[in-house]
Structure 1
Amino acid sequence: MSHTSFVHAHAAHTDWRVAFAECQRQIQAHIATRAAQQKESALFTLGWCYLSDYYAPESEAILQELHRALPGVAWVGTVGVGVSASGIEYFDEPALVLMVAPLPRDSFRLFSGLQPLPVTSPGFQPHTALVHAEGCTPELQELLHELSARTSTGYLFGGLSSARNRPLHIADGVFTGGLSGVLFGPEIGLVSRVTQGCQPVGPVRTITRGEQNLVITLDGRPALDCVLEDLGCDRDLPVDVLSQALSKTLAGLSIDAEDVPKQPGRFGADTLVRHLVGVDLQHRALAVADLVEPGMRLAFCTRNAEAARLDLVRIATEIRAELEGDTAMHMSGALYVSCSGRGGPHFGARHAELQIVRNALGDVPLVGFFAGGEIARNHLYGYTGILTVFTSRD
């Protein structure tokens, strides 16, 4: 294990104290093994803590214990209906996952409601950012765009909490509302990819008339007629049958004309999948869960486990191949944020999604959570996975 490698731990128990003690034992064992092998001890400075929502009410106590057990480590994280580690997922059960990294202290900055974004200075230039937030945050998309503009690459990664009881996020404190996370300087290497979980069921069309969240016409034709054609349904379906057909159909939106499927049946990385939330039978229009405007591209789609599996294999393999092309580059640790709609049975078996990642990347330290929305670039995604690998050089 390289001295720059991260260390991770995971455990599940009805009592958070028992799970915490087991994670602490695992981390201490890894650190001791590393020190014995390398004859030196790395200084861990940044930690991730992802909590199952069963533990959300005790989040302050958990953070206090983290500071006590590992003094000097700055902690970030959030809560989800599930959490994950290398090759394993804990979905809908009380669990937590931890990871610590030996990063230079001047290479990152935490931000939150108590620690606003630092003003750019010669001493620190934000390059990328890990972001945690809540779906109910007002003007969330605008906040993401603003944060993206504060970084030199414009690249954000992260996700929204998915708690059923107490949404929260952590940045050396427990917060609700707003954004929190970590700004990384240019010396922190990382590779990040978006994996889509839906499959187009028809062609990519152009919105020719749209107002607010209403898609009125596609390619000059009524939007409702287009979706029924793509689904192979009769134009005059009874209302109850129409509702059933549309309830399983989603809309893949994109702005960039170049963001078209690179292969048949596959979305481009910038496609944003949104729910259909209503239908106007009189005007044959569709309402989607986002703002639309003429010129945007739209393809109707459905969730598809096989397409999700193949695309996850693809992005993980691409990351590994990119890093193996540079023999001086190594994987130090990884984060994986997956949609809460993808966990568990969607991939056919428990742990299947995380085992795909481990099989492609190897046994790199990894933690993550199942989110209520995924963040990549300056976009908020749905039904996707965001895989980010931190790298180091010899």
Structure 2
Amino acid sequence: MKLFPFGHATHPQWQMAAGLVLAQLRAQMARPDYAGAPTLGLLYITDHYAGQARDILDHLSAELPLVTDWTGTVGVGICAGSAEYIDEPALAVMLCAVPPHQYRVFSGVAPLGAGEGMGFEAHAALVHADAQTPELAELLAEMAGRTTSGYLFGGLASSRGPAVQFAVGGNGNMRGQGAASGVFSGGLSGVAFGEEVALVSRVTQGCQPVTAQRRISSAEGNVILSLDGEPALDLLLRELGLSLDEPQEAIATLRATLVGLTSAGSQAVDRTGSFGTDVRVRHIIGLDPGRRGVAVADQVEAGMPMAFCQRHARAARADLMRVCAEIREELEPHEMSLSTATALAADEALAAPSPARRIAGAIYVSCAGRGGPHFGGPSAELQIVRHALGDVPLVGFFAGGEIARHHLYGYTGVLTVFTA
């Protein structure tokens, strides 16, 4: 599989940014190591361009007539290569050289599996969603159920304006789309991939447990009433060393404290003291002094393991390096020839993509609360990824929530690579 062409740029005028991106794409498509005729485009824009989303899509579609299918969304920030564009006008495009019979673009007006009639079977899916969609968790679970692996990856659009999504299939009009422009708001959209499209995906957590794992003994709705048989509020205050008699100090600490939840039968905290990949981090949204409970931004049930946590830049950096290393290890052969080993060694020095790693392109969806500043400097998060994987084609965005499997996460990153 050849490398996926990609381009990115920032400019106050979207036409200038699009021109710079198109120049990058065309230059790469002319090179023998990049795909020359890809048909699937991924488009991510910052919310500075949200009002011109339709014009941007129309322009790119006209300039790249071989690209018949598009998907993407908007973020308060986007990323490409080793660069992060946060709170500035920017766009990024990656053209994926995936066999046309091995993917399907979908949206709310052209759902996955509706009227296909061509034997396509979804194995996994890249999903973009609107956070305001009713019963979003149920919709994600239903979407995961339409894939053979049950694996989704992606995130929620984040925008201070329109939360737009891009979804164009075939010749520009998906069945059922009618006269729609390919720019949507609300619901889910994205692209499903068949089994022949090899993907490796990992979730990296951004929070560190600050208490031991506990099990919810009793709960009602979104209120944790007791943990390991003890009133939840009492346990929280004790383990954080707080007292409601000193409200200002207590409130400041509680605002920085979150809850890591996972399903009954799982482990919230692993043997290293870190969160596992199934943990969903949620805000504490209130205290219930009358019932000595703690209210969180999710439904909770008795039997669920949990731990109180805080955002932790050092742990987030270490965990991102860990998932990148896992992807590298999965892609590198256990036994290699001398020439392959030499290529890998050179790749380490030059941070260039290596055929031995077989990465054609990557998608990275990170939380809008992460990004370079959380990791110590501008573009620091993406530079960690680049250092670990090499200078591979990569695009993505900073989301209002991250999607992996059928779960909706917060403060995480979801890194997915296309492999040969």
Partner of 1:88: 83
Tell me, in whole angstroms, the C-alpha distance in 1 between the residues paired with 2:290 and 2:221: 18
Q: Structure 1, unaligned stretches of length 5 or more?
A: none
Bigger shift: 112-121 or 19-28? 112-121
Tell me, in whole angstroms, the C-alpha distance in 1 between the residues paired with 2:278 and 2:197: 24
Q: 1:198 aligns with which of 199, 204, 207?
A: 207
Partner of 1:102: 97
**Pairing 1:12-23 to 2, within 5 Å after superposition:** 12-23=10-21
Tell me, in whole angstroms, the C-alpha distance in 1 between the residues paired with 2:51 and 2:18: 15
Q: Which residue identity is paired with 1:278?
A: G
Q: 1:254 aligns with which of 262, 266, 278?
A: 262
Give 1:349 shift.
0.0
Tell me, in whole angstroms, the C-alpha distance in 2 between the residues paired with 1:122 and 1:178: 25
Q: Would the aligned equivalents of 1:196 and 1:311 in 2 still touch at CA under 8 Å?
A: yes
Partner of 2:28: 30
Query: CA offsets per residue over residues 2-35 of structure 1, 9 Å max, x none?
Result: x52111111001111110000000000111123x
Aligned residues: CA RMSD: 1.5
1:282 and 2:290 matched: yes
Tell me, in whole angstroms, the C-alpha distance in 1 between the residues paired with 2:211 and 2:153: 29
**Pairing 1:160-309 to 2, within 5 Å after superposition:** 160-172=156-168, 173-234=182-243, 236-309=244-317
Query: CA offsets per residue over residues 132-191 of structure 1, 9 Å max, x none?
Result: 011111000000000000100000000001101111111121111110000100000000
Q: Secondary structure at the match of 2:273?
A: coil
* Aligned-pair identity (%): 53
Give 1:265 shift.
3.1
Tell me, in whole angstroms, the C-alpha distance in 2 between the residues paired with 1:361 and 1:237: 50
Q: Secondary structure at the match of 1:71?
A: coil
Give 1:61 shift.
0.2
Partner of 2:174: none
Q: Would the aligned equivalents of 1:339 and 1:373 in 2 still touch at CA under 8 Å?
A: yes
Q: Would the aligned equivalents of 1:323 and 1:329 in 2 still touch at CA under 8 Å?
A: yes
Give 1:122 shift.
6.6
Change (3 A) 1:229 1:264: farther
Partner of 1:371: 399
Tell me, in whole angstroms, the C-alpha distance in 2 between the residues paired with 1:364 and 1:281: 52
Q: Would the aligned equivalents of 2:266 and 2:305 in 1 still touch at CA under 8 Å?
A: no
Give 1:225 shift.
1.2
Q: 2:134 aligns with which of 135, 138, 159?
A: 138
Tell me, in whole angstroms, the C-alpha distance in 1 between the residues paired with 2:216 and 2:363: 35
Tell me, in whole angstroms, the C-alpha distance in 2 between the residues paired with 1:240 and 1:260: 30
Partner of 2:383: 355
Tell me, in whole angstroms, the C-alpha distance in 2 between the residues paired with 1:77 and 1:109: 14
Tell me, in whole angstroms, the C-alpha distance in 1 between the residues paired with 2:325 and 2:283: 30
Tell me, in whole angstroms, the C-alpha distance in 2 between the residues paired with 1:241 and 1:279: 15
Q: Which residue identity is paired with 2:254?
A: L
Tell me, in whole angstroms, the C-alpha distance in 1 between the residues paired with 2:20 and 2:264: 47
Give the TM-score, by structure 2 length: 0.89
Q: Would the aligned equivalents of 2:9 and 2:20 in 1 still touch at CA under 8 Å?
A: yes
Partner of 1:124: 120
Q: Which residue identity is paired with 2:163?
A: P
Give 1:220 shift.
0.8
Give 1:231 shift.
1.3
1:388 and 2:416 matched: yes
Q: Secondary structure at the match of 1:322?
A: helix
Q: Would the aligned equivalents of 1:52 and 1:82 in 2 still touch at CA under 8 Å?
A: yes
1:319 and 2:313 matched: no
Partner of 1:64: 58
Bigger shift: 168-177 or 119-128? 119-128
Q: Would the aligned equivalents of 1:276 and 1:286 in 2 still touch at CA under 8 Å?
A: yes
Q: 2:74 aligns with which of 74, 79, 89?
A: 79
Bigger shift: 332-341 or 318-327? 318-327
Give 1:363 shift.
0.7
Q: Which residue identity is paired with 1:353?
A: E
Bigger shift: 64-73 or 331-340? 64-73
Q: Would the aligned equivalents of 1:259 and 1:269 in 2 still touch at CA under 8 Å?
A: no
1:346 and 2:354 matched: no
Give 1:256 shift.
4.4
Give 1:261 shift.
2.7
Give 1:284 shift.
1.3
Partner of 1:330: 358
Tell me, in whole angstroms, the C-alpha distance in 2 between the residues paired with 1:325 and 1:121: 38
Q: Which residue identity is paired with 1:312?
A: L
Q: Structure 2, unaligned stretches of length 5 or more?
A: 169-181, 337-355
Tell me, in whole angstroms, the C-alpha distance in 2 between the residues paired with 1:209 and 1:196: 27
Give 1:381 shift.
0.2
Query: CA offsets per residue over residues 341-366 of structure 1, 9 Å max, x none?
Result: 00231111001000000000001100
**Pairing 1:1-12 to 2, within 5 Å after superposition:** 4-12=2-10
Query: CA offsets per residue over residues 17-62 of structure 1, 9 Å max, x none?
Result: 110000000000111123xx69xx6321111110000000000000
Q: Secondary structure at the match of 2:224?
A: strand
Q: Secondary structure at the match of 1:169?
A: strand
Q: Which residue identity is paired with 2:290?
A: Q
Tell me, in whole angstroms, the C-alpha distance in 2 between the residues paired with 1:114 and 1:59: 18
Query: CA offsets per residue over residues 300-332 of structure 1, 9 Å max, x none?
Result: 000000000000000011101110026776111
Give 1:258 shift.
3.3
Give 1:272 shift.
0.1
Change (3 A) 1:106 1:9: same
